[in-house]
Structure 1
Amino acid sequence: MRHPRSTLLTGLAAASALTLAACSGGGGDSGGDDTPDGPVDLRMTVWTASEDHLELFNDIADTYIADHPDEVSSVTFETVPFDDYTTTLTTQIAGGNAPDLAWIFESNGPEFVASGALMDLGPTFEATSGYDLEDVDPATLELWQSDGGLYAYPFSNSPFVMFVNTDRVSESGQDNPADLLADGEWTYDAARDISAGSVDELGGAGLVVRDFDYQIWANLATVWGGWGAEPWSADGSTCEFGSQEMIDALSWYHDAVFEDGAIPGPGTSADFFAGDTTMTITQISRASSLDGSFEWDIVPLPAGPAGQQNVVGQAGLGVLANSEHPEAAANFLAYFTNPENSESLALYFPPPRTSLLNPETLAEGNPLFSQEQLQTVVDSITGATTKPAHPNFAQLDTAVRSALDPLWTADADAASVAPAVCTDIESLLQG
């Protein structure tokens, strides 16, 4: 089977080469026909199959088509399974079947931006009346910018928070995280102690970093941020796994698993939403799994030795520069993400627009949350960092996962394992 990394490189290289060819041939900045004879059919790849999401997308598209009948005749939202999404997208690009628009993972964002596969959306947004790009939180744009250009719109910014089973906390006689937060004592050490104490009293599981499963290491960014640790330097060129901050963070996690019993070990299945886990770090979209069988709350990510750090998972929405109709696609994207439609999209996708980052707006799409909880959500988005991303992320992802495997045994030492990660990935950071 072809490695996904190979497909990603091939697809993006093909897109970049074709885009450059189009530019050198006098075709402008895009690979498609900028002046079609009539209205065009647009295609956008997405990874959601939610009927509610797709109904909203289609409603926005139908309104646009009615207002622009000479420009666009249809917009098709093509669902691609989450696990295969990037591989499928880059295969389409390599095969000359690029969609006009596409959702893009934050982890692969820098690779798409650097490749030339995406159209610069800045001129279109600036020329769109009432678009108000200045309303967008600058921190959410950083991943998608390069040399003054903006190559995707960060339409979804889902924060990581701590969900707490307050029934388990109360029944086990532990401190309530919300009370600790109010007193300025909500820390990772406190979360560890509450989790371990609840397991001692009630069994089950304590603290779970959801979807980590000792595989998806990037989700541990929600923990090591409290130590001020990063996997690599801001410019992506230097490995930081060997830093003292990262060693300390990974040591804390290792000991919470193997010494304190606060975190389930490898091979242990624990689902917060089943009711037998005390707390979990995950995104607010997971609240749909709550069934009312226990009382719960959310609090921000705890503070570590370096303070408290907010983290979001981000999805960008870009226009493929070598698609059939990039100019028409960019115009539609400007409409799809304008202030009015961003408010509608906020029902499901936390927006980057600061004017919409308030409990009142988010309440319409999150009826399970109280106003106080939604304020936590807003505070967890503003100024947050994104999960790890890199122009070479696909290959780095596999290498880091493999290099961290030795850490997940009882007698492992983070001071030995973490620096060894750098030995395995240093060359990949340059590639």
Structure 2
Amino acid sequence: MRRLLAGIATVALFGSLTACGGGDDAGSDGPITLRMTTWSANEAHVKLFDSIAAEYKTTHPDVTVKFDALPFENYTTTVTTQIAGGNAPDIAWILEGSAPDFVASGALAPLDDSIENAADLVPAATALWKSDGKLMAYPFSTSPFGVFVNTDMVKTLPAQWTWENAIAAASAAAKKTGKQGLVVRDFDYKDWTNLTSVFRGWGAEAWSADGKTCGFDQKPMVDAMTFLHKAIFTDKALPAPGVSADFFAGESAMTIAQISRASLLKEDGFGWTLVPLPAGPAGDYSVIGQGGLGVLKKGKNASAAAEFVKFFTNEANSAKLAQFFPPPRKSQLNAETLAKANPLLKPDQLQDVVIDGIADGVVKPSHTGSAEINQAVRAALDPLWKPDADVPAVLSGVCTAITPLLAK
């Protein structure tokens, strides 16, 4: 059913949108309510978004902005289904995996005239969000992954911060405390794209740069997944399938997450630190997750939405958003600026994980037809999450499943 819905939504939106008219509020009178879909219901995030919307309303009294938080797992499918059903949001938070579909579809209104000081944007941060040189969505969150460590459970980090040593430390902490070791947040044996934060350490890629050739059956991926399988089922360093653990509730020794999650830490909680991803056999690396802000042409209030995006992304609000969402602005990507917005994080942590990570990182996998591809990968990977799995055979099966999809 999930695949069917994803397919229907994708076909309905990306197959027919360019022939459809969009919303036009240019001649509307009276109050306007803008709806912006997000995937985060985090209290701190919502509070910040609401404060920006409230400030906007002081100069635009007829405009009310409502943030519609949708479940992360089915976020993109829900948004595309809404659009196909004639209930398009005015503004959507777009995940990097579905960026190629949205950007190429004609679903979004160009934002070049709706971004303050666009010359300040880092080219590498905007590359995924452009079509024919036009900026189709603003990457307001360009956030590398790091490792949060519970220093009450892991007293001393290994001198050599490698995947081998990190897994050994996680395994030892789990065995000693009876809690979990390392959690790849939001993976939960469902969203395989979050494993990019692990397998990139082996130089593995889900598919080639041109998106046409599957990489799951190649040696780097086989080696990475073999390591991960052993870490789960032999070393007991990661929660087994069906086991949940929340680092921020003190239930695991480490978690891979972005700095936006720091808001979940409590002042009276445990000791913690934030470090970069461990080095893998391919050396040091960084993986970036992005969120783009797009104005939907089919929304009821497209021009008013573009005006709010201009305000939401201006330099002042970009600095506020930097508390959770590292900005794409060159002028703000420095430890001093980010430290002002992130009092919980030390300048050296921000430098090592965020600033250096953006400079050297690779964005999580993205491809046209991402909903169908992601579901196919997830289904084909299911046999891997068993103690006696044949790792090379399973990964070969992933390529069998997705190669026809990559060619579309």
TM over 0.5, shorter chain = yes
Deviation of the 1:278 alpha carbon: 2.2
* Counterpart position of 1:309: 285
Task: Look up the equivalent residue of 1:420 and give its one-letter code.
Answer: G
* Counterpart position of 1:112: 102
| Structure 1 SS opposite 2:97 | coil
| Structure 2 SS opposite 1:107 | helix
Kindly provide the CA deviation profile for residues 134-161 of structure 1, in whole angstroms up to 9, marking residues without a partner as x.
3222222122122222210001123311
Q: What are the equivalent positions in structure 2 for 1:272-311 lying under 5 Å apart? A: 272-291=247-266, 292-311=268-287
**Rounded Cα–Cα distance in structure 2 between residues aligned with 1:176 and 1:401:** 33
Residues 407 and 355 (structure 1 numbering): CA distance in 2 closer, same or farther, change over 3 Å? same
**Rounded Cα–Cα distance in structure 1 between residues aligned with 2:274 and 2:315:** 28
Residue 80 of structure 1: which of 62, 69, 82 is its match?
69
Is 1:192 the counterpart of 2:158 in the alignment?
no
| Structure 2 SS opposite 1:409 | coil
Is 1:339 the counterpart of 2:324 in the alignment?
no
Task: Look up the equivalent residue of 2:24 and give its one-letter code.
Answer: D
**Rounded Cα–Cα distance in structure 1 between residues aligned with 2:145 and 2:341:** 17
Kindly provide the CA deviation profile for residues 307-339 of structure 1, in whole angstroms up to 9, marking residues without a partner as x.
222122221101112333433432332232121
Task: Look up the equivalent residue of 1:41 and give its one-letter code.
Answer: I
* Counterpart position of 2:190: 215
**Rounded Cα–Cα distance in structure 2 between residues aligned with 1:364 and 1:39:** 39
| Structure 1 SS opposite 2:139 | strand
Deviation of the 1:191 alpha carbon: 0.6
Is 1:157 the counterpart of 2:142 in the alignment?
yes
* Counterpart position of 1:397: 374
| Structure 1 SS opposite 2:32 | strand
CA contact (8 A) 2:260 2:323 kept: no
Deviation of the 1:380 alpha carbon: 2.7
Identity %: 50
Structure 1: stretches of 5+ with no match in the other structure: 23-30
**Rounded Cα–Cα distance in structure 1 between residues aligned with 2:300 and 2:280:** 49
Is 1:385 the counterpart of 2:362 in the alignment?
yes
**Rounded Cα–Cα distance in structure 1 between residues aligned with 2:228 and 2:52:** 45
Deviation of the 1:50 alpha carbon: 5.0
Kindly provide the CA deviation profile for residues 272-297 of structure 1, in whole angstroms up to 9, marking residues without a partner as x.
23434222212222223333442211
Which consecutive aligned stretches of 4+ in structure 1 deviate over 6 angstroms post-superposition?
A: none
* Counterpart position of 2:219: 244
Higher mean Cα deviation, 53-62 or 404-413? 53-62
TM (norm. structure 2) is 0.89
Deviation of the 1:260 alpha carbon: 2.5
* Counterpart position of 1:89: 79
* Counterpart position of 2:118: 133
Deviation of the 1:359 alpha carbon: 3.0
* Counterpart position of 1:319: 295
* Counterpart position of 1:229: 204
* Counterpart position of 2:34: 43
Structure 2: stretches of 5+ with no match in the other structure: none
**Aligned residue pairs, count:** 403
CA contact (8 A) 2:93 2:291 kept: yes
CA contact (8 A) 1:153 1:318 kept: yes
Residues 50 and 279 (structure 1 numbering): CA distance in 2 closer, same or farther, change over 3 Å? closer
TM (norm. structure 1) is 0.85
**Rounded Cα–Cα distance in structure 2 between residues aligned with 1:413 and 1:37:** 61
Residues 341 and 425 (structure 1 numbering): CA distance in 2 closer, same or farther, change over 3 Å? same
Residues 328 and 370 (structure 1 numbering): CA distance in 2 closer, same or farther, change over 3 Å? same
Task: Look up the equivalent residue of 1:146 and give its one-letter code.
Answer: S
Kindly provide the CA deviation profile for residues 92-115 of structure 1, in whole angstroms up to 9, marking residues without a partner as x.
322333232211122211111122
| Structure 2 SS opposite 1:154 | strand
* Counterpart position of 1:26: none
Residues 406 and 97 (structure 1 numbering): CA distance in 2 closer, same or farther, change over 3 Å? closer
Residues 142 and 42 (structure 1 numbering): CA distance in 2 closer, same or farther, change over 3 Å? farther
Residues 195 and 317 (structure 1 numbering): CA distance in 2 closer, same or farther, change over 3 Å? same
CA contact (8 A) 1:40 1:325 kept: no
CA contact (8 A) 1:155 1:337 kept: yes
Kindly provide the CA deviation profile for residues 230-252 of structure 1, in whole angstroms up to 9, marking residues without a partner as x.
11122222211111111111111
* Counterpart position of 1:206: 181
**Rounded Cα–Cα distance in structure 2 between residues aligned with 1:296 and 1:116:** 44
* Counterpart position of 1:269: 244
Higher mean Cα deviation, 406-415 or 41-50? 41-50
**Rounded Cα–Cα distance in structure 1 between residues aligned with 2:186 and 2:41:** 20
Larger Rg: 1
**Rounded Cα–Cα distance in structure 2 between residues aligned with 1:268 and 1:50:** 22
**Rounded Cα–Cα distance in structure 2 between residues aligned with 1:264 and 1:100:** 39
Task: Look up the equivalent residue of 1:297 and give its one-letter code.
Answer: T
Residues 67 and 238 (structure 1 numbering): CA distance in 2 closer, same or farther, change over 3 Å? same
Deviation of the 1:344 alpha carbon: 2.2
Is 1:414 the counterpart of 2:391 in the alignment?
yes
Residues 63 and 204 (structure 1 numbering): CA distance in 2 closer, same or farther, change over 3 Å? closer
**Rounded Cα–Cα distance in structure 1 between residues aligned with 2:88 and 2:255:** 38
Kindly provide the CA deviation profile for residues 340-398 of structure 1, in whole angstroms up to 9, marking residues without a partner as x.
22112223322111211233333344332223323334333334222222211111111
Residues 322 and 18 (structure 1 numbering): CA distance in 2 closer, same or farther, change over 3 Å? farther
Query: What is the aligned-residue RMSD (CA, Å)?
Result: 2.6
**Rounded Cα–Cα distance in structure 2 between residues aligned with 1:253 and 1:53:** 32
Higher mean Cα deviation, 74-83 or 306-315? 74-83
* Counterpart position of 2:336: 360
Residues 59 and 402 (structure 1 numbering): CA distance in 2 closer, same or farther, change over 3 Å? closer
Deviation of the 1:37 alpha carbon: 5.7
**Rounded Cα–Cα distance in structure 2 between residues aligned with 1:286 and 1:62:** 24
Residues 88 and 133 (structure 1 numbering): CA distance in 2 closer, same or farther, change over 3 Å? same
CA contact (8 A) 1:42 1:329 kept: no
**Rounded Cα–Cα distance in structure 2 between residues aligned with 1:241 and 1:186:** 26
* Counterpart position of 1:376: 352
CA contact (8 A) 2:261 2:324 kept: no
